[in-house]
Chain A
Amino acid sequence: MAKTIFKWDYSDYPGAKIYPHLFKPIQIGNLIIPNRIKYTATEENLNGLDGFVTDQGAAYLGERAKGVVGGLCFMQGVYMDEARMGQGYVGQAAAWDDKFIPGLKRLADAIHDARAVAGIQLMDCGRVGAVDVEYGHGPSAVPQRLRIFRPMKEMSKDEIKEMIQQHIDAAKRGVEAGFDVMEISGIVGYLVSNFVSGYTNRRTDEYGGDIRGRMQAVVEIIQGVKTVIPEDMPLGIRLCSEELLDDVRGNTPEESMESYKIAEEAGVDYISCTLGWQESIYPVISRDIPMGNWIHLAKRAKEHVSVPVSMAYRLFKPGLPNEKIGAGELDIWEMCRPMIADPLMPKKVLEGKEEEIRHCVACNLCLARLFRDAPMTCYINPICAHEANPEFAAPPPAEEEKEIMIVGAGPAGLECAYVAAQRGHEVHIYDKRDEIGGTLNEARHAPYGDDELWTCVEYQKVMCEKAGVNFHLGTEVTEEVIEDEMPDSVVLATGSVYSKLEVPGGDSDKIVYLADVMSGKAEVGEKVVVWGNRKPGIGCALHLAKQGKKVTLAGKDKTAGFDVNPSFKWRYMIYMRQNGIVAYNDCEIVEIDDAGIVVKTYDGYQWPIKCDTIVLADREPNESLKKAVQSEGIELFVVGDALIPRNLSSAVHDGYRIGMRI
């Protein structure tokens, strides 16, 4: 008789009728899981540097536990060696000693408080570990491809046995802490995947050789862990279905599927289907990869094993996983980034409130932060990693209800508007355009997935409507309007203006604005210089290059895409190369004439660039109403690009913070 931990009845929920396959139970091993949703183990760097769980970490996970509405919720992977060679993140939780059990229990309790199934993951980071020690460990000492990772030391047989025992001991601690499901991490370059891959495992003893030999350590971990966990505690493993390491002679897909079969034979109760390594040269999860791009791998995995198969990887919306589960091509919908962006995402699906979901925009800022030893944050969710701070996570009602005028219905203004309105203020948002969204209306036309950015505005619109925000679209706010309305507070979310070129020829009729180009209003010639080498300029340059134009990107910043996080920037650099875009960075325009422009590099070299169109993408704050508001003695706040031209994330975060402070 399989065990049920919490009983859930979804029959009355609208989401269960729309997505019936997501909200039906599944048996994994001897445990019944009420639905098909899993928040997968995700590092967040919120724990202490000593590996102990913190209030922030517990609160972060507690929110995600509410989101899975009875499904699986995993804490992050724990490292298991006192020497910390397996530690891949400065704030990674530890489980190498019994002293960590109380902290782990806090996390299990936080998940159980939400009536969800609590999972713990065992994760030695192997090749990408040793974040704070001199050497990493692995089956073979294969040099690191990426210099940010530590040099490798080959493990002796005794060290392999010790590592296996560490997994077993950590599993015992997980059981004692009260978790319901145990999982082994074998993905993206962590230790288990290092053993499995022919790229990193060159051993000739029983832990190397063919795929069966390379799986031997994994088999011993699985069998060892099975001996110390209860019969009704399922054991799963995350394994690469495709390593995407063909360029360095990694495993073939056939070998990967063989590893799945061997894991099943060894006794795992489910397999999480993953792909790609941190060293892969192919993108896997960034916004330029279409949603659902990898789902066929789950189907293939199911053709090779009989245990349930779960999968994440660009499955941000419920429709496709529901369909695939219904078709028997997937068993469990996994996610991490969608629930970083909105912890309650599946709950909102269940409750029929999909329009209230704040969707992940696949920018990978969260990952970029983790790899640089910074705490988790989210591009689009200002509350992320602040869950332990009630004033931040759920701003209290305003002490004094005010009439607030927000000028500009872009992402910064909209975010501020609904947060302030939720706190009891009377909020009026104005925009001279007839539509909301500000410059995102144009920016979303950039290629490689930027249309997904618009989900932010859709979410904000719904939240504003629910909070009772008053919209005044098609209304330009002037000094007179401010004098007439005399609000208690004004929030300037007026965005930016394009910086004029104060050089000879700066009034040339070749000059057009980025927004007009992206909206198709401006005529653009065949040879184009985009002036401004941050994200908007890159998006515009790619947009034009896709139309077959010869594009040069030039700007003041030392590198193009200075404002794009490193985990996404590399994509843009490749796309710029592929589209033949030449970039001149760290330069200024010195003259514009009939033939084109002359740029001057930081060290004094001058280059002529022929062009028939110059697109202005370089911006400065639009401060046109600042003095008018100040002269009336009205409380003034400035958010988003009106403060400093930056990106969508800054707009959202600014808006939220001011919304909770007014």
Chain B
Amino acid sequence: MPVDAEKEITRLWKALHSAQDEIGKTYYRWRQVALEFAGDDVKSLDVALRAAEVFGKDIGKSILPRMNWLKGEEGFMMILGKTLAGLWITDGGLATVEKGEDPGEIFIKCTRDPWPTWAKEFGVPMEEVAICRERMYQSILEDVSVFMNIPLKIELQKAIPRGHGETVMRLYKAE
């Protein structure tokens, strides 16, 4: 075979990392433009949270076709958890999903998060990163909750601002 496998794989990695970079950069560029439009009187965190909501809402719509109750509540929650973890993985993170004690409870754990790095590049306060991630996921779940007629919640339980250690989110069915 005339294919130089190492060269081809290196090129693919570069392309993947560029694409992942663009995800973060697009979000923060969006935030930056929104801040400029909003003017000086607005808190940057409010704008960032709004940006997270808009992103989350759109992502939520795109995952509706994959929602499936055929495996019951436990199966559904696991699929949803994996979908949310998958978003992190697509961004370049390392994320896993674990069942909680309750059948309607899932923990999403991220041990490598690229978002703080992107945030730093755009001069965004580190505190904003985890809060916006939580808001984005909450927004994703808005349409999913209505669509499946299940009150879904997600909350940040643990966050390491600079992306080291572990970030933990709890996905659960609200009573």
Contact = CB atoms under 8 A, between A and B. Distances in A.
Nearest to A250: B69
A605 B146 contact: no
B61 A593 contact: no
B8 interface: yes
A146 interface: yes
B78 to A, nearest CB: 15
A249 interface: yes
Nearest to A198: B149
Interface in B136-151: 143, 146-149
A608 B146 contact: no
A248 B147 contact: yes
B123 interface: no
Interface centre among A147, A603, A606 (most CB of B within 10 A): A606
Contacts of B64: 143-145
Contacts of B69: 246-249
Contacts of B146: 141-143
A608 B148 contact: no
A580 B70 CA distance: 23
B36 to A, nearest CB: 29
Contact of B68 (A146, A202, A247): A247
A13 interface: no
Interface string A114-148: 00000000000000000000000000011111110
Contacts of A598: 1-3
A607 interface: yes
Interface residues of A, number: 25
B1 A248 contact: no
A143 B1 contact: no
A591 interface: yes
Interface residues of B, number: 21
Contacts of A595: 1
B38 interface: no
Given A147-B61, A605-B8, A605-B12, A249 B149 contact: yes
Interface in A235-251: 246-249
Nearest to B57: A143
B2 A142 contact: no
A595 B2 CA distance: 11
A247 B8 contact: no
Contacts of A249: 69, 148-149
B8 A248 contact: no
B2 to A, nearest CB: 6
B contact patch SS: helix
Contacts of A608: 1, 3, 5
Given A143-B147, A247-B70, A605-B12, A591 B65 contact: no
B17 interface: no
Contacts of A607: 3, 8
B19 interface: no
Given A246-B70, A608-B1, A146 B149 contact: no
A249 B65 CA distance: 14
B67 interface: yes
A566 to B, nearest CB: 14
A605 B2 contact: no
A146 B1 CA distance: 44
B164 interface: no
A204 to B, nearest CB: 12
Contacts of B147: 142-143, 145, 248
A246 B68 CA distance: 8
B12 to A, nearest CB: 7
B155 to A, nearest CB: 22
B11 interface: yes
Interface string A138-167: 000111111100000000000000000000
B68 to A, nearest CB: 4
A605 B11 contact: yes
A54 to B, nearest CB: 36
Nearest to A595: B1
A590 B1 CA distance: 11
Nearest to A596: B1
Contacts of A246: 69-70
Interface of B: 1-3, 5, 8, 11-12, 15, 61-62, 64-65, 67-70, 143, 146-149
Which 7 A-B residue pairs are closest in the complex by CB-CB distance?
Answer: A143-B143, A247-B68, A608-B1, A606-B3, A143-B147, A145-B64, A608-B3
20 contacts: A141-B146, A142-B149, A143-B147, A144-B64, A145-B64, A145-B65, A247-B67, A247-B69, A247-B70, A248-B68, A248-B69, A249-B149, A591-B2, A593-B1, A598-B2, A606-B2, A606-B3, A607-B3, A608-B1, A608-B3
Given A144-B61, A248-B68, A604-B11, 4 more contacts: A143-B143, A605-B12, A607-B3, A607-B8
Interface of A: 141-147, 202, 246-249, 281, 590-591, 593, 595-596, 598, 603-608
